[in-house]
Structures are given as structure tokens and as C-alpha cells.
């Protein structure tokens, strides 16, 4: 049997876990605020359809949240099981940040989720609304702290090194490190966009299945309005984030753009196959000067090439590709969101083509979020704390057979869960809208839920 490098296996395992985990928070962070919006609209207008929209989506929220929680628990242990050296060296900094996440976010969301889901008949409308808000605030706090830690690993500041151990010097500088504001806004907005396309996509599918009601259309309008504003905003935030990365992590930018040699007035490579051994991009389609223009906002700006970083730059091809997938989907989101808002604003009948496109885009946010994270995380390699600590120096020394076994176990579990998750959403979405049931009284689906309350 082939002998695998334990370092590669430890990384693969961690990457698989964190990739699977991020799928669910990237929906729940945004979806929770959408639910708060539905609940608030219902409270203010008394329109039952907002309540129906809330009930439909809160079920999917609960399911997604559960997946996020259990895969998140895995993360909190895997820092130790896979990267004990990371904790020994950066524990003074990463520990408190993770600790604040548990204290200010995890308990808040997990506790008030009980009221949000099951407490409607036991508490006042006001308290229920407050509980929904607290869950939403909790999910956002959680993003705040974990992104702060991740950003600190990318752009470390506020520390001193004593015998190879990181010591906290200034907590403000640690938490609000240089890349943090950009990464946080980029991620929160990504989550709002992911959830917007998710609710639009599922609703469009319901329209096609003819199980929609007035509530479904309220959801579509809410989602499209969000997407039409946030998708272009994301491009602006992304651009700012890129400038920040150029300042602090030039090697990452060089890999993203596959710039092999430092040059002025660098071209932008739209497409191509970076070949790291030959140090060239094959089949490249380039637009002259655009690379420098985008990144330095000057036609003749200088961009550092990979040659400046010897062997300490990230793998080029995956970062290059992941970046293009993210940007491609982001651009597609703008077009689709504007197309849908144009149709909706004009009050035109919604064509089948639009409905089909929206359905295809249901999980587009996932692909964009994952590729975005691959850009930033692979782009940090070979460092775990940029410029200071290498990933290979902090890995645990488990036998590769053990790692292989648990890795395969996780993969089997995750594939099974992902299939179950998507097919359950399909199952839930196939049920007729509550607002339709009240009109037609579907014989096979009596209104059990309503009668008990």
C-alpha cells in the first residue's frame, strides 16, 4: 500500500472538516437575519404570509444550524488533535479569541434557539422576537471572533515572540488586526448573499413545483432585493480586501494572478493553466496592464512576482483557479440578481428561464464561499501564522494509518450527511405552502401543526 505523508493527511482531514463545516454557518449567519426580518414584518403588518414564510424557513434553519453546531464542535477539538503545536505556540492568542467565541456566541445562540424554535406558545410575541434577534446576534458574534483569529493568522499583529512562543502584547491590535475588517465584512456579506440565493432558489423551485403561495413570493422578493444590493457591494468589498492582501501578503496576490516575475504594468490573466515547474502560464489569455490597474489602481504600478518569494509561496494553480471561480460566481450573482429585480420591478410575468436559473443558483453561494476560503487559506501557505510559523512545524505525529482511517470515516459521514441535507430540503420544499393549504385543504397533509396550538 502507498504510504501517505501524515502531514498531508492531517491537512486533508482538517480541510475536509472545515470545508464541510463552513457550508452551514455560511447559510445560518445570513438566514437568521432573514428570519428576524420575516418575524418583524409579521409583527408590524399582521400579514399572515410573513408568518408562513417564517415557519417554512425556520425549519430549514434549525436543520442547518444543527449541522453547523455538530461540525463546529469537531473543529474545536481538531485544533488540538491535528495541530497541537499550533496551540502550544499561539495558544496565548488563539485561545482567548476562541474562548470569547464560546462565551459570547455559542451559548447565546444555542440557548435562545430553544425559545426560537419551540417556545412560541410559551412566551410572548415580544420575547420570541427578542430570542430570534439574540440567535442572530450570536451567529454574527461567532463569525466576528473566528474571523478575527483567522485574520490574525494572516496578518499577525499585537504580539511579541518569546522563545518561539507568541505572547499577547496589545489585545486591540490582535483582535482588530490589519486584514480583519475586510475579511469580516467580506464573509458576513458572503453569508447574506449565500442565504439570499438559497432562499430564492428553493422558492423558485417551489414555484416550478406549483406548491407556492403568496408567502413564497414574499420570500423571493426579499431575497432578490438583498442580492441586487449585496452582490455588487461584495465586488467592491472584495476589491478593497485584495488591496489589503497586496499590502500584507504579496505572495498570495502573486499566486492568485500567476505573476511569475516582478513587473510594472502587469497584465491580467483571465484564463490559463499555471505551470509551477516551468514558471509560466500556459494557454494564457491576458489583458495588458489590467492586473496593475486592478491591484494598484495605476496602469504602471509594480506587482511583486513569485520569484521574490523563492520556495515560500503558495501552490499557484489551486489558488489561481479558486480565485477565478469565486469571482466568476460573484459576477454571475450580480447579473442574475439584477435580471430578477428588473423582472419583478416591472411586474412582468416571471419566465421559466428565470425560475430555472434561480433554482440552479440555489447553492451557488457555497461554491463561491469555499473557493474564496481556499484562496485565502491555501494562499497563506506554507505558513500557518504568516511569515512566522510554518504549518509543517506544528502538526501532530499520528501514524498515517490512523489518520487515513479517521479521514475516510469523516468523508463517508459527510457525504452521507450532505446527501441527507439536500434531499431533506427537497422533501420539505415539496410540501404545499401553508397559505395554499388553508385554501385547498390538501387531503394527505392535514394541518396538524396549527390545530395543536
Partner 1 sequence: MEYWLPLFFVFVIGFCLLVYVVLDGFDLGIGLLLPFASDQEKDTMVASIGPFWDANETWIVLGVGVLLIAFPSAYGLVLSSLYVPVTLMLMGLILRGVAFDFRVKAGDQHKSMWNKAFFIGSLIAAVSQGWMLGAYITGLLPGMIHTLFSALIALTLPALYIMLGSAWLMMKTEDELFTKAVRWAKQAILPMGIALFMVSIATPTVSDEIARKWFSLPNAIGLLPIPLASIIAYVTIYYLLGRLDILKAGYAWLIFAGLILICVMAALGLAYSIFPDIVIGQINIWSAASATKSLQFVFVGLVITLPVIIGYTIFIYRIFHGKATSLSYD
Q: Which is nearer to partner 1, 311 or 452 (CB)?
A: 452
Q: Which CB sits closer to partner 1, 62 or 225?
A: 62
The length of the chain, given as a count of residues: 453
242: nearest Cα among 233, 234, 253: 253
Helix, strand, coil share (%) of the chain residues, nearest 5: 70, 5, 20
Q: How far is the CB of 260 from partner 1 (least distance, A)?
A: 39
Q: Give residues with Cβ within 8 angstroms of 147, minimum separation 6.
A: 180, 183, 184, 187
CB nearer to partner 1: give 270 or 447: 447
Residues that bind partner 1 (CB under 8 A): 55, 58-59, 62-63, 65-67, 69-74, 76-77, 79-81, 84-85, 87-88, 91-93, 95-96, 98-100, 102-104, 106-107, 110-115, 117-123, 167-168, 171, 396, 398, 402, 406, 409-410, 413, 417, 420, 423-424, 427-428, 449-450, 452-453
Tell me which residue of 326, 321, 187, 325 sits closest to 256, measured CA to CA: 321
Please state, in angstroms and rounded to a whole number, the distance separating the CA atoms of residues 130 and 124: 10
Return the half-sphere exposure (C-beta side, CA atoms, 13 A cut-off) of residue 271: 3
Which of 234, 284, 227 minimizes the C-alpha distance to 258? Answer: 284
Least spacing, CB of residue 424 vs partner 1, in Å: 5
Distance of closest approach, residue 85 Cβ to partner 1, in angstroms: 7
DSSP state of 271: E
Contact 302, 263 (CB under 8 A): yes
Contact 127/135 with Cβ under 8 angstroms? no
CB of 405 to partner 1, least distance (A): 9
CA distance 405 to 13: 10
Q: How far is the CB of 399 from partner 1 (least distance, A)?
A: 10
Closest to partner 1 by CB, 166 or 373 = 166
CB neighbours of residue 112 within 10 Å: 22
Residues 6+ apart with CB under 8 A from 82: 10, 13, 14, 395, 396
CA 423 from centre of chain: 21
167 or 235: CB nearest partner 1: 167
- Nearer of residues 324 and 398 to partner 1, judged by Cβ: 398
Of 134 and 207, which has the nearer Cβ to partner 1? Answer: 134
Smaller CB separation from partner 1, 209 or 424: 424
Residue 157 Cβ vs partner 1, minimum distance, rounded to whole Å: 16
Shortest Å distance, C-beta 1 to partner 1? 20
Helix (H), strand (E) at residue 129 = helix 125-154
Question: Closer to partner 1 at the Cβ: 235 or 413?
Answer: 413
Residue 290 CB-density burial (10 A; 0-12 exposed, 13-18 middle, 19+ buried): middle
- Among 89, 99, 246, 244, which residue's Cα sits nearest to residue 159? 89
Q: How far is the CB of 220 from partner 1 (least distance, A)?
A: 22
Least separation in angstroms between residue 214's CB and partner 1 is 19
Amino acid at each position: 500500500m502507498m504510504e501517505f505523508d501524515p502531514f498531508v493527511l492531517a491537512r486533508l482531514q482538517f480541510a475536509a472538516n472545515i470545508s464541510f463545516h463552513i457550508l452551514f454557518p455560511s447559510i445560518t449567519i445570513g438566514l437568521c437575519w432573514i428570519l428576524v426580518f420575516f418575524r418583524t414584518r409579521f409583527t408590524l403588518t399582521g400579514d399572515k404570509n410573513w408568518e408562513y414564510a417564517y415557519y417554512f424557513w425556520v425549519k430549514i434553519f434549525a436543520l442547518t444550524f444543527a449541522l453547523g453546531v455538530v461540525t463546529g464542535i469537531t473543529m474545536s477539538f481538531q485544533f488540538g488533535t491535528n495541530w497541537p503545536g499550533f496551540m502550544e505556540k499561539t495558544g496565548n492568542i488563539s485561545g482567548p479569541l476562541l474562548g470569547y467565541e464560546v462565551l459570547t456566541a455559542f451559548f447565546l445562540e444555542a440557548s435562545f434557539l430553544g425559545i426560537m424554535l419551540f417556545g412560541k406558545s410559551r412566551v410572548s410575541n415580544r420575547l420570541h422576537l427578542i430570542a430570534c434577534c439574540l440567535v442572530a446576534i450570536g451567529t454574527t458574534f461567532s463569525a466576528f471572533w473566528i474571523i478575527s483569529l483567522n485574520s490574525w493568522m494572516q496578518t499577525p499583529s499585537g504580539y511579541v515572540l518569546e522563545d518561539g512562543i507568541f505572547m499577547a502584547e496589545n489585545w486591540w491590535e490582535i483582535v482588530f488586526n490589519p486584514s480583519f475588517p475586510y475579511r469580516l465584512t467580506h464573509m458576513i456579506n458572503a453569508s447574506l448573499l449565500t442565504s439570499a440565493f438559497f432562499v430564492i432558489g428553493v422558492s423558485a423551485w417551489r414555484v416550478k413545483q406549483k406548491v407556492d403561495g403568496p408567502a413564497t413570493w414574499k420570500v423571493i422578493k426579499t431575497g432578490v432585493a438583498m442580492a441586487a444590493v449585496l452582490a455588487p457591494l461584495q465586488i467592491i468589498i472584495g476589491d478593497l480586501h485584495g488591496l489589503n492582501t497586496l499590502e500584507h501578503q504579496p505572495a498570495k496576490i502573486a499566486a492568485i494572478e500567476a505573476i511569475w516575475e516582478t513587473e510594472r504594468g502587469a497584465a491580467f490573466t483571465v484564463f490559463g493553466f499555471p505551470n509551477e515547474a516551468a514558471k509560466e502560464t500556459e494557454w494564457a489569455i491576458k489583458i495588458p496592464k489590467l492586473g496593475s490597474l486592478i491591484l494598484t489602481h495605476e496602469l504602471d504600478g509594480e506587482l511583486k512576482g513569485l520569484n521574490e518569494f523563492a520556495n515560500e509561496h503558495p501552490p499557484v494553480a489551486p489558488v489561481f483557479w479558486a480565485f477565478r471561480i469565486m469571482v466568476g460566481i460573484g459576477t454571475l450573482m450580480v447579473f442574475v440578481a439584477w435580471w430578477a429585480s428588473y423582472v419583478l420591478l416591472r411586474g412582468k410575468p416571471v419566465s421559466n428561464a428565470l425560475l430555472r436559473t434561480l433554482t440552479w443558483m440555489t447553492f451557488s453561494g457555497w461554491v463561491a464561499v469555499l473557493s474564496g476560503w481556499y484562496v485565502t487559506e491555501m494562499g497563506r501557505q506554507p505558513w500557518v501564522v504568516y511569515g512566522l510559523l510554518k504549518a509543517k512545524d506544528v502538526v501532530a505525529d499520528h501514524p498515517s494509518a490512523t489518520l487515513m482511517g479517521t479521514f475516510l470515516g469523516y468523508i463517508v459521514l459527510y457525504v452521507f450527511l450532505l446527501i441527507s441535507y439536500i434531499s431533506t430540503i427537497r422533501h420539505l420544499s415539496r410540501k404545499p405552502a401553508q397559505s395554499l393549504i388553508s385554501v385547498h385543504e390538501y387531503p394527505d397533509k392535514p394541518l396538524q401543526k396549527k390545530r395543536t396550538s
